[in-house]
Amino acid sequence: MKHARIIYRVFAVAAVVLLCTMCTVVASEYTALVYCGRYALCSAPPWVAFYMAIPFAVAVGVCLFISLYFRKKSRLR
Protein backbone atom coordinates (compact mmCIF):
# COMPACT_ATOMS: atom_id res chain seq x y z
CA MET A 1 0.00 0.00 0.00
CA LYS A 2 1.49 3.25 -1.10
CA HIS A 3 -0.75 5.27 1.22
CA ALA A 4 0.48 3.39 4.29
CA ARG A 5 4.09 4.10 3.33
CA ILE A 6 3.37 7.81 2.96
CA ILE A 7 1.52 7.95 6.27
CA TYR A 8 4.33 6.15 8.08
CA ARG A 9 6.92 8.59 6.70
CA VAL A 10 4.81 11.63 7.58
CA PHE A 11 4.41 10.50 11.18
CA ALA A 12 8.10 9.60 11.46
CA VAL A 13 9.05 13.09 10.32
CA ALA A 14 6.46 14.58 12.68
CA ALA A 15 8.04 12.68 15.59
CA VAL A 16 11.49 14.06 14.76
CA VAL A 17 10.15 17.61 14.41
CA LEU A 18 8.31 17.32 17.74
CA LEU A 19 11.45 16.01 19.41
CA CYS A 20 13.51 18.97 18.18
CA THR A 21 10.75 21.38 19.20
CA MET A 22 10.62 19.81 22.65
CA CYS A 23 14.36 20.33 23.14
CA THR A 24 14.09 23.96 22.06
CA VAL A 25 11.11 24.75 24.29
CA VAL A 26 12.57 23.07 27.37
CA ALA A 27 15.95 24.74 26.90
CA SER A 28 14.44 28.20 26.48
CA GLU A 29 12.14 27.77 29.49
CA TYR A 30 15.03 26.48 31.59
CA THR A 31 17.24 29.44 30.73
CA ALA A 32 14.36 31.85 31.37
CA LEU A 33 13.76 30.33 34.80
CA VAL A 34 17.48 30.40 35.66
CA TYR A 35 17.65 34.06 34.69
CA CYS A 36 14.43 34.84 36.52
CA GLY A 37 15.64 33.06 39.64
CA ARG A 38 18.96 34.91 39.73
CA TYR A 39 18.00 38.41 38.69
CA ALA A 40 14.23 38.88 38.81
CA LEU A 41 13.60 36.96 42.05
CA CYS A 42 11.09 34.41 40.76
CA SER A 43 10.06 31.64 43.10
CA ALA A 44 9.93 28.73 40.62
CA PRO A 45 13.05 26.54 40.46
CA PRO A 46 14.61 25.95 37.01
CA TRP A 47 13.86 22.20 37.01
CA VAL A 48 10.15 23.02 36.60
CA ALA A 49 10.94 23.65 32.92
CA PHE A 50 11.33 19.90 32.42
CA TYR A 51 7.59 19.50 32.99
CA MET A 52 7.16 21.14 29.60
CA ALA A 53 8.60 17.97 28.05
CA ILE A 54 5.72 15.74 29.19
CA PRO A 55 3.14 16.71 26.51
CA PHE A 56 5.83 16.63 23.82
CA ALA A 57 6.96 13.17 24.95
CA VAL A 58 3.40 11.87 24.76
CA ALA A 59 2.97 13.33 21.27
CA VAL A 60 6.28 11.84 20.10
CA GLY A 61 5.23 8.45 21.47
CA VAL A 62 1.89 8.60 19.67
CA CYS A 63 3.55 9.61 16.40
CA LEU A 64 6.07 6.77 16.70
CA PHE A 65 3.32 4.26 17.48
CA ILE A 66 1.29 5.35 14.45
CA SER A 67 4.40 5.37 12.27
CA LEU A 68 5.41 1.85 13.29
CA TYR A 69 1.85 0.60 12.80
CA PHE A 70 1.70 1.89 9.23
CA ARG A 71 5.25 0.72 8.52
CA LYS A 72 4.24 -2.79 9.49
CA LYS A 73 1.06 -2.47 7.45
CA SER A 74 2.98 -1.27 4.36
CA ARG A 75 5.42 -4.20 4.54
CA LEU A 76 2.69 -6.82 4.68
CA ARG A 77 1.70 -6.18 1.08
Q: Has residue 52 got a pLDDT over 80?
A: yes
Share of the chain above pLDDT 90, in %: 69
Residue 77 clears pLDDT 80, i.e. is over it: no
Q: What is the dihedral of CA 34, 36, 41, 46, to 10 degrees?
A: -40
- Mean pLDDT in residue range 38-43: 84
37 or 7, higher pLDDT: 7
Higher pLDDT pick, 73 / 13: 13
